[in-house]
Every structure is written in C-alpha cells, then in structure tokens.
Copies of this chain bind each other. A is one copy, B any other.
Amino acid sequence: MTDPRFDAWRARADAALEAALPQPQTQPQRLHAAMRHAALSGGKRMRPLLVYASGAVFDADEKALDAPAVAVELIHAYSLVHDDLPSMDDDALRRGQPTAHIAFDEASAILAGDALQSLAFEVLAGTRVNDATRVALLRALALAAGSAGMCGGQALDLAATGSGAVLSIDDMQRLHEMKTGALIRAAVRMGGLCGGGDGPSRRALDRYADALGLAFQIRDDLLDIEGDSATLGKTAGKDAAQAKATFPSVIGIDASRARLRELGAEMADALAPFGEHADALGALARMAVERDR
C-alpha cells in the first residue's frame, strides 16, 4: 500500500514548503505564524505525492516537481483554513491540531488563507521548467482552484448543507468533482506537464485522477461513519450531525464500498499502459481506497 519513494518525496515536499513559507520572525509575524500553522501542521501530503508520482511516469526531474508540489499543497492548506471558519464548516480541530481561527483568530485565518493562495502562484511562477510550461502550470492550478473548481465545489457544498434538500447522486458527484477532484486532477496534470507527457497519456492520467478524487471522497465519507476522532485527527460523525449528504447517506454503505472497489479497478485500468512507470500512482490509488485516516 505504499511505495519506497513516498518518504523521500514527503521529505522533499516538506523541505520545499518550509523554504517557500515566510519566516515566523519576519513581520507581520502573526500572519506568518498562521500561514505556517496551516501549511506545516501534518497532513498526508497526498497532493504533493501525486505531483511527484505523475512526474515519475515520464521520468521528470524531481527538482522541477518541487514547485508544483508545494503550490498544490498551499492551495489545499488555504482551502482547509477557510472551510474551517465559523461561517463555513465551523470546525475547531484539524489534523489533531486547533484550526487556524482557533489557534489565532478569525481575521488572521482569513488573511493567512488569502496569502497562502498568492504564495502558491508565486512559487509556481518559479518552477524549473521553460516559460511555456510555467504558464500551463499556472493556468491549470488557477482553473482548479477557482469557481469552476474547488471554490465552486465548496459553494455547492454549503448550499446543499444549508438547504436540507436531498442531493441526487449526480449532483453530489459533481460537487466532489469540483470541491476535491479539481485539485487532485491539477496535481496529476502538473506532474505530467513537467514530464512532457503527450495527449493520450494526459487523457489516461485525467481518467485516473478523476477516479482517484471520487474514491478519496467516498473513503472520507465512510471514515466519518466508521472511524474515530483520535485516528482521524478530526471530528468523526460530523457529517451525520450536520445532516450532510454523503455517499453512504445517499446510496448506502454497501453501495459506497462497492463503488470504491469499482473505482480502484478503473484506476488500475487507466494506469495499465504505463506499466511499472506508474507504480507510485498505483500505490496512491490503493492508499485512497484502503486508508483508515
């Protein structure tokens, strides 16, 4: 379920994140401390691993992959900070740590999220690739983060939670394709862009990434029911408490598990043409399906 390269890639991503974030002793200190709290408080580094793993399919230079790995994690970290705010999901615990607005204050959390987003694009503009590829990376990440992607998905999620209406499976799938899927797809795409993948391989990786995003979400929904807060590092049972539409609540637990297995098979199929070059992506697929936190 893991790949020998994951530890090294996580260490690369962590070092690059640490180097990209402003120092805590630099003014404005409270803002910088909040940014570091948000980006450095653990996390599985799933999206950076996806960048390295999809770059590895094309033997991309790992030095070129550091910037997109950091950028996608910064976008992810900012989205968690804003999603946890009182006017959004109102969550006090994340990755076993107090969320940014609890550890600091609401204004600092909003600003830290904003500045993390800017930093993601600043870092990405310095990727060690040619300028045409840099522009393609910047466009891919901006599209994935915006109202047609992550932000739009969070808006759909808030609307669904607020209305109390029962979501159709199609609407719920679309919500997650935007809320979490778009950024996962961007991570995989950026690795491919840095490695110079061609059209057919890009389409195969898109198919893999779409299945992965959905699998990740279904597993998340199942863990909210089956997991416990200590292992998860966040509050379990929250979806049910908020009467949130989830895959288990809409199609049932057994059907959700079956869908997860199907997605696992679909990912294996999408990766088959790449052979052992896609071993790391395959390990991430199994991790998404089988993880317990």
A226 to B: closest C-beta gap in Å: 29
Within 8 A of B (CB), among A1-59: 22, 27-28, 30-32, 35
Binds B, one of A117-125, A252-260, A263-271: A117-125
Nearest 9 Cβ contacts at the A-B interface: A118-B146, A87-B106, A122-B142, A131-B131, A31-B155, A115-B151, A28-B155, A115-B147, A125-B139
| Nearest-neighbor residue (CB-CB) of A147 within chain B | B115
- The SS class assigned to the A binding surface is helix
A115 touches B31 (CB 8 A): no
The answer, among B105, B134, B139, B158, for a CB contact under 8 Å with A87, is B105
Contact A156–B110 (Cβ < 8 Å): no
Residue in A32, A148, A149, A151 whose Cβ sees the most chain B Cβ within 10 Å: A151
Interfacial chain B residues near A125, Cβ < 8 Å:
135, 138-139, 142
Closest B residue to A146 by CB, please name it: B118
**Contact assessment for B31 and A152 in the assembled complex, using a CB-CB cutoff below 8 Å:** yes
Please, which residues of chain B bring their CB within 8 A of the CB of A139?
A: 122, 125-126
**Residues of B close to A115: CB separation below 8 A:** 146-147, 151-152
CB distance from A186 to the nearest CB of B (A): 11
Q: Is A201 an interface residue (CB 8 A)?
A: no
Bound together, the chains give a CA A78 to CA B79 distance in angstroms of 16
Q: Which residue of the partner chain B has the closest CB to A145?
A: B118
- Asked if A181 CB lies within 8 Å of chain B CBs, one says no
Show 17 residue pairs from A and B whose CB-CB distance is below 8 angstroms, ordered by the A residue.
A22-B147, A30-B159, A31-B147, A79-B114, A85-B110, A87-B105, A111-B158, A113-B114, A114-B114, A115-B146, A115-B151, A117-B118, A118-B142, A122-B142, A122-B143, A131-B131, A135-B138
Cα distance, A113 to B151, chains bound together (Å): 10
Interface size for chain A: under 10, 10 to 19, 20 to 34, or 35 or more residues?
35 or more
A135 CB, min distance to chain B CBs, angstroms? 5
In Å, the complex CA distance between A47 and B288 comes to 45
Tell me if B28 and A147 are in contact (CB < 8 A).
yes
Per the bound structure, the CA–CA distance linking A248 and B37 in Å amounts to 37
Q: In the complex the two chains form, is B114's CB within 8 Å of A82's CB?
A: yes
Q: Cβ of A229 < 8 Å from any Cβ of B? A: no
Q: Give residues 126-165 of A contacting B (CB, 8 Å).
A: 126, 130-132, 134-135, 138-139, 141-143, 145-149, 151-152, 154-156, 158-159
A243 within 8 A of B: no
Known: A130-B131, A131-B132. 6 other contacts (CB 8 A): A22-B148, A31-B147, A85-B107, A88-B107, A119-B147, A135-B138
Cα distance, A173 to B138, chains bound together (Å)? 33
